[in-house]
Amino acid sequence: MEKLHMFKKVISFVTGAALSLALVSYYPSATGKNSASAMTIAEMQEEIKANKETISELQSQLDALAGNKAEEQKYQDTLNEQIAVIQENITLLNAQIESLNSDIDTAKNNIADLDQSIIDQQNEIDANIELFKQRLCAMYVTGNDNLATVVVGTSSFYDMLSRVEMVNRIASYDEQLINDILADIDKMETSKKELETEKLNLQMKVEEQEKRKEEKDSELAVLNDQYSKTQAEIARIAQEEAYTSDQLAELEAMNAEFDAEISAEIARQAAAAQAAYEAEQARLAAERAAAAQASAQSSGSSYTVDYQQPAYIPAPSASGFAWPAPGFCYISSYYGPRWGSFHGGIDVGDAGIHGGAACASKSGTVIAVCNSCTHDYAKNGSCGCGGGYGNYVIISHDGTYSTVYGHLASAAVSVGQYVNQGEVIGYIGSTGWSTGAHLHFEVRVNGNRVDPLGYVSP
């Protein structure tokens, strides 16, 4: 289990180090990279895409590090529990050793007391023996070395018997006293041996408990070492998390800088395109007006282009799209089968619509513009311009949706320009295959035409 645990930590460290080195080599620093303003929009978008992939890798690494840290902390909690148990065992062993040492001290004191009692008893025996010797010596000095001397010195038979009995009693008493003292000494010697044995057993128990304590101390040292290693690993993971988070934040900041620069660049391009368009529009206005007048005269029509500003700013519907011809609400032709073919959009035709503003139904990037048709008049067939759409604009919205604005008198935007919802992108006319002034409006989903009325309403 310990080997597997260490193997996981090594693999985690190697993986994190490899990814960190790769990031350092690919992203040296924010200051070391080329300035975003020196890059094209396409290059910045590629950088953003690459950064997002790296951010995803960094986030995966952060998730893995969080998992590793949680595992280390769980292992550390287990070590804490084991350390607490061993410390309790050591505390108990210390208490037992202290109790045994106290018992040993008591046994030592009891042995010392018995030793003193034996010495006192031995002294008493020696004193009695000495007294007995003195009596015998006195008897010998006075000549009473046998019972005959006791008998001879008596005045009567009764006195003789009394003296004999007294001698016997004295001798018997001394003998019994000595025997009792010797018996007491034997008992004390036995008690002393028992105490010595008990002391030895207690010392053996102390040694056994101390050995167990040493084992527990060794186990505790191992656990404390493992705990220290785990703490160091948690600190290392936290440091790696901080480093990875810093890199992730740096990449996100870089992407934010790119996004801001892209928006600014699009705004600059839009402003430049608008200025160029207005200049070009001023130049072509007279030519188109003259051409439209001539075409109208040759076809029997009598109107000229009168460019109008939108009647109001269109509000988006629930789908997020807005009505493309503000101020004009009449739908002259719907989505579906028409004249033996299929009509892929709706036609907004209303009185006075010629020259009216066509507005972006939703914010997006202009991906196609045709602005070369000068046949801005009613006709019964296609003039061949713009594939029948005449002058048109196509806007892409988030890559999934796109919108088409056909039969324009003129387009007011250019390819690559970013337009906001409601912004004028051209003026309604009758270019292309058109029987009269109207706006042909389409909504496409992944390139497929769908009914626009599912997204907009007048």
CATH number of residue 407's parent domain: 2.70.70.10
Q: Phi and psi of 56, rounded to 5°?
A: -60, -40
pLDDT score at 16: 46
Of the candidates 55, 67, 47, the one whose C-alpha atom is nearest the C-alpha of residue 244 is 55
CA angle 149, 151, 157 (to 5 degrees): 170
Q: Phi and psi of 347, rounded to 5°?
A: -110, 120
266 and 339 together in one domain? no
369-380 average pLDDT score:
91
Decide if pLDDT at 157 tops 60. Answer: no
Decide if pLDDT at 221 tops 70. Answer: yes
Number of separate domains in the chain: 2
Of the candidates 362, 360, 269, the one whose C-alpha atom is nearest the C-alpha of residue 40 is 269
Question: Which one of 269, 302, 335 terminates a domain?
Answer: 302
Residue 367 banded pLDDT, cuts 50, 70, 90: very high
Question: Which one of 245, 267, 302 terminates a domain?
Answer: 302
Lowest-confidence pick of 55-69, 305-319, 387-401: 305-319
Residue 278 banded pLDDT, cuts 50, 70, 90: low
Question: Which one of 302, 321, 354 terminates a domain?
Answer: 302
pLDDT score at 167: 61
296 and 313 together in one domain? no
Stronger pLDDT, 363 or 210, i.e. the higher one: 363
pLDDT by residue (tens digit) across 333-346?
Answer: 999 998 788 999 99
244 and 321 together in one domain? no
215 and 142 together in one domain? yes
213 and 139 together in one domain? yes
Lowest-confidence pick of 67-81, 142-156, 238-252, 401-415: 142-156
287-303 average pLDDT score:
48
Decide if pLDDT at 26 tops 90. Answer: no
CA angle 232, 236, 238 (to 5 degrees): 115
Distance of CA 192 to the CA centre of its chain: 71
Torsion of CA 126, 129, 130, 133, to 10 degrees: -160
Average pLDDT for the chain? 78
Decide if pLDDT at 27 tops 70. Answer: no
325-352 average pLDDT score:
90
8 and 81 together in one domain? yes
240 and 341 together in one domain? no
Decide if pLDDT at 358 tops 90. Answer: yes
> What whole-number distance in Å separates Cα of residue 149 and Cα of residue 317?
155
Residue 385 banded pLDDT, cuts 50, 70, 90: very high
Ranked by mean pLDDT, the top range of 50-64, 150-164, 287-301, 393-407 is 393-407
Decide if pLDDT at 353 tops 50. Answer: yes
386 and 252 together in one domain? no
Per DSSP, the three-state class of 439 is strand
369-381 average pLDDT score:
90
196 and 322 together in one domain? no
pLDDT score at 171: 64
Judge contact between 320 and 375, C-beta under 8 A.
Answer: no
Q: Which domain holds residue 349?
A: 306-454
357 and 231 together in one domain? no
244 and 314 together in one domain? no
271 and 310 together in one domain? no
